[in-house]
């Protein structure tokens, strides 16, 4: 069963070839067997999952099932789940149990999915390799010494190892697409505002967006269909209607224009990785698409811009973790200030502290104009570059990451080297654009991703490009060795 995609499982559940309870037990057995070594789950909830699976089976029997009814999924541990611990990968929330569900969680629950557990992640989603989690690094199922990418690395490892057919993720500067690329998955970050942020613990509110890690574009369409839509509880949620994403799959791409920004092929890009992206472009060209080279002149400024804007917003968002309202509180404080200081000192890890300090600095009087305001202006220029490109082409394509998965520990000593890993993924969220990563090859046995960026709310078009590509190629069907062959 674990070899099947979400769409195939949904079909067989509807045909009653197996029950949701059987499928859920199968996933739980695989989690029991593999998740420990991968360190991809922070919490697993077998009792709740089996109860939800039995309820889904009844719903299927009553003929009231939707396409996701009875499908086991995992949520990144950034989404609040009523009654189930939500840690955000941080010691400060190690004991936090939310009293409500995030909108994403509630919607996927309404669709009949079975929540099986919460996945490991970089602390507060800050990271590119899933090494900043309080719960330890996640391992890449393709190679245990390699990172799975971050910050949604637990979700990526769980789906890549075929422990669950799909998982949620969040992307602020690449955290869905990057782990998807490094673990051979489809990673989908919708337009800013497409999916509600209510109950999704905030990192950088003007950039954060929820999405999914799946194995195919069709599966991503199914997940997005359930997650997307206006939410009055999120003031930046879009009122745009939600189309039937799956129905939009399969249209031809003849005559469609693909822009390839020259900035995506900079000297930092691994040659073999570049060759895989080029081969993918050739496939799409054969299907009739036209490939056009173009420029995004300010894209090279996206890393410094993001690493001012995101820390600024996080320093403000994370001020709510003060030991009074949520989670960890330092023992025996001498006074209020001592409680604040020690709670935050003990509760946050090094990367989070670094971001809070940088963010506080760039927002302080005297530096605000020089850094924060300047970054906002450059952000505008980057967004304008994308807008100009989309006057000429339908989508933009390039690599998702500069290299395949790197060794655990290789970049933790130098934050700037780590930040540079986000060079190709940060542009889209700065401009609020939707983007996906699709597996497009393997380099030294490790997967690499093709990134596709689209116009605002052109999710259906992006999914279609990915789907058409997946019909022609089989990279997305490759599984890491040792996970598909195994019986349980
Ligand atoms: N790697 C980026 C960062 O560390 C992006 C993380 C994300 O998208 N959540 O901030």
Per-block mean pLDDT, blocks of 10 residues, the chain (488 long): 94 95 98 98 98 97 95 98 98 97 98 98 98 98 98 98 98 98 98 98 98 98 98 97 95 97 95 98 98 97 97 97 94 97 98 98 94 97 98 98 97 91 96 98 98 98 98 97 73
> What would the two tokens of residue 37 be?
């070594």
pLDDT at res. 150? 96
Name the residue range of residue 31's domain.
6-257+457-477
| Euclidean distance between CA atoms 272 and 48, whole angstroms | 45
Ligand 1 site residues, Cβ closer than 6 angstroms: 125-128, 151, 171-175, 203, 310, 422
- Residue 151 CA to ligand 1 center (angstroms) comes to 6
In a domain, 286, yes or no: no
**CA nearest ligand 1 atom 10, residue:** 126
In a domain, 169, yes or no: yes
pLDDT at res. 429? 98
Helix (H) or strand (E) holding 14: helix 6-14
Question: What CATH number is associated with residue 214?
Answer: 3.90.1300.10
pLDDT at res. 153? 98
Domains identified in the chain, total number: 1
| Euclidean distance between CA atoms 164 and 157, whole angstroms | 10
pLDDT at res. 485? 72
- Residue 425 CA to ligand 1 center (angstroms) comes to 9
- In this structure, what are the phi and psi dihedrals at residue 327, rounded to the nearest 5 degrees? 60, -140
What is the number of the ligand 1 atom nearest to the C-alpha of 176? 8
What is the number of the ligand 1 atom nearest to the C-alpha of 171? 8
CB 425 within 8 A of CB 435: yes
Cα 98 from chain centre: 21
* Ramachandran bin of 261, using left for φ above 0, alpha for ψ from -120 to 50, beta for the remaining angles: beta
Residue of 422, 424, 426, 427 to mutate, ligand 1, most atoms within 8 A of C-beta: 422
| Euclidean distance between CA atoms 231 and 209, whole angstroms | 14
CB 168 within 8 A of CB 199: no
Give the contacts of 321 (CB within 8 A, at least 6 positions apart): 92, 93, 327, 343, 344, 347, 348
Tell me whether residue 76 is one of the annotated catalytic residues.
yes
In a domain, 267, yes or no: no
Which one is catalytic: 128, 129, 175, 302? Answer: 175
> Does this model's pTM top 0.95?
yes
In a domain, 322, yes or no: no
In a domain, 351, yes or no: no
pLDDT at res. 488? 46
Q: How many CB atoms lie within 10 A of CB 488?
A: 9
In a domain, 223, yes or no: yes
Tell me whether residue 151 is one of the annotated catalytic residues.
yes
Which one is catalytic: 151, 216, 315, 437? Answer: 151
In a domain, 303, yes or no: no
CB 434 within 8 A of CB 190: yes
In a domain, 404, yes or no: no
């Amino acid at each position: 069963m674990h070899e099947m995609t979400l769409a195939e499982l949904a079909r067989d559940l509807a045909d009653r070839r197996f029950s949701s309870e059987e499928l859920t037990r199968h996933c739980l057995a695989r989690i029991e067997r593999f998740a420990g070594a991968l360190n991809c789950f922070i919490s697993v909830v077998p009792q709740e999952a089996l109860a939800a699976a039995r309820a889904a089976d009844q719903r299927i029997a009553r003929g009231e099932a939707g396409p996701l009814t009875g499908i086991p999924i995992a949520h990144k541990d950034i989404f609040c789940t009523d009654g189930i611990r939500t840690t955000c990968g941080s010691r400060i929330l190690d004991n936090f149990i939310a009293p409500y569900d995030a909108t994403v969680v509630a919607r996927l629950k309404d669709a009949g999915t079975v929540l099986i557990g919460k996945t490991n992640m970089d602390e507060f989603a800050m990271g590119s390799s899933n090494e900043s989690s309080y719960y330890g690094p996640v391992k890449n199922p393709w190679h245990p010494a390699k990172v799975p990418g971050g910050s949604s690395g637990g979700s990526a490892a769980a789906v890549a190892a075929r422990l669950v057919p799909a998982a949620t993720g969040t992307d602020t500067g690449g955290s869905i697409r990057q782990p998807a690329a490094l673990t051979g998955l489809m990673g989908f970050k919708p337009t800013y505002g497409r999916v509600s942020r209510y109950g999704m613990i905030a990192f950088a509110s003007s950039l954060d967006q929820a999405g999914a890690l799946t194995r195919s574009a069709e599966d991503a369409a199914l997940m997005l269909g359930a997650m997307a839509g206006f939410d009055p509880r999120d003031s930046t949620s879009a009122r745009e209607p939600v189309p039937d994403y799956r129905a939009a799959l399969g249209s031809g791409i003849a005559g469609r224009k693909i822009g390839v920004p020259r900035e995506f092929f900079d000297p930092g890009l691994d040659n073999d990785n570049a060759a895989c992206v080029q081969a993918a472009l050739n496939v799409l060209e054969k299907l009739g698409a036209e490939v056009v080279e173009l420029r995004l002149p300010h894209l090279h400024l996206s890393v410094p811009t993001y690493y001012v804007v995101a820390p600024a917003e996080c320093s403000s968002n994370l001020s709510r973790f003060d030991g009074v309202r949520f989670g960890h509180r330092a023992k025996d404080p001498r006074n209020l200030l001592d409680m604040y200081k020690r709670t935050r000192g003990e509760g946050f890890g090094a990367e989070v502290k670094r971001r809070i300090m940088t963010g506080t600095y760039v927002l302080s009087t005297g530096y605000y104009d020089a850094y924060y305001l300047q970054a906002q202006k450059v952000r505008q220029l980057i967004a304008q570059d994308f807008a100009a490109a989309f006057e000429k082409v339908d989508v933009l394509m390039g690599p998702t990451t500069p290299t395949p998965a790197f060794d655990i520990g290789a970049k933790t000593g130098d934050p700037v080297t780590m930040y540079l890993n986000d060079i190709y993924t940060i542009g889209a969220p700065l401009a609020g654009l939707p983007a996906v990563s699709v597996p497009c090859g393997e380099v030294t046995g490790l997967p690499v991703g093709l990134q596709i960026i689209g116009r605002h709310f052109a999710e259906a078009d992006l999914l279609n490009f990915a789907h058409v590509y997946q019909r022609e190629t089989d990279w997305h069907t490759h599984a890491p060795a040792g996970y598909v062959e195994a019986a349980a």
